[in-house]
């Protein structure tokens, strides 16, 4: 910390080419400063331990919808403009959709949009404080964007747990004519 103090002192001093004056410290001052630093570090560690067991804090006012996406065309190295995007949530009586089953009426459309020149979709859902935990699906009309590609459309299905209802979910699609990738961004 002393090195950082000296560097900051030099950075903000009027005479940058001269070393800052450092007064010699008495043994009592050194011991007091050391105790102060240990107390500060201890407070940070205690706060981190308490936070790990506590409920996750959330921002009470969202500045963007809790689920967002964008599409990047990795074959061209640029954002994908004009791709239709649809966000849906599973609302059937069944607890969750099962792999390999065909469902027609279980998905409820929350919103739709198209990507802009930056590859970002418009608002796909209303601004809500807490997300409803459940299964969500984002679908992209990639066949219209790239008619000669392998994927006529892409659907990404993901689950939001009760403990994640305050989180933000950014689910991007990285697309080329014959491959795709996705991840949970921030």
Which helix (H) or strand (E) covers residue 180, if one does? strand 179-182
Per the annotation, does 70 bind a ligand?
yes
Q: For residues 10 and 75, give the distance between their C-alpha atoms in angstroms, rounded to a whole number.
A: 49
Neighbouring residues of 178: CB distance < 8 A, sequence distance ≥ 6? 149, 150
Beta partners for residue 154, in sequence order: 140
Alpha carbon dihedral 172, 177, 178, 183, in 10-degree steps, equals 0
Radius of gyration of the chain (CA): 26
Per the annotation, does 120 bind a ligand?
yes
Q: For residues 72 and 67, give the distance between their C-alpha atoms in angstroms, rounded to a whole number.
A: 17
Dihedral pair phi/psi, residue 141, rounded to 5° = -85, 75
Q: For residues 159 and 1, give the distance between their C-alpha atoms in angstroms, rounded to a whole number.
A: 44
Per the annotation, where are the binding residues for substrate?
A: 70, 120, 183
Per the annotation, where are the binding residues?
A: 70, 120, 183
């Amino acid at each position: 910390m002393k090195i950082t103090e000296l560097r900051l002192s030099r950075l903000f001093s009027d005479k940058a080419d001269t070393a800052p004056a450092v007064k010699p410290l008495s043994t009592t001052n050194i011991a007091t400063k050391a105790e102060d630093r240990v107390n500060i570090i201890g407070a940070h560690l205690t706060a981190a331990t308490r936070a790990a067991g506590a409920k996750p804090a959330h921002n009470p006012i969202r500045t963007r919808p809790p689920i967002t996406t964008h599409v990047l065309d990795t074959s061209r190295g640029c954002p994908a403009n004009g791709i239709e995007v649809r966000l849906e949530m599973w609302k059937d009586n069944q607890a969750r959709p099962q792999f390999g089953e065909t469902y027609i009426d279980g998905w409820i459309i929350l919103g739709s949009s198209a990507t802009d020149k930056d590859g970002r979709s418009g608002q796909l859902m209303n601004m809500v404080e807490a997300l409803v935990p459940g299964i969500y699906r984002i679908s992209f009309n990639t066949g219209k964007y790239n008619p000669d590609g392998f994927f006529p459309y892409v659907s990404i299905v993901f689950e939001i747990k009760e403990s994640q209802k305050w989180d933000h979910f950014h689910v991007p699609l990285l697309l080329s004519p014959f491959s795709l990738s996705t991840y949970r961004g921030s």
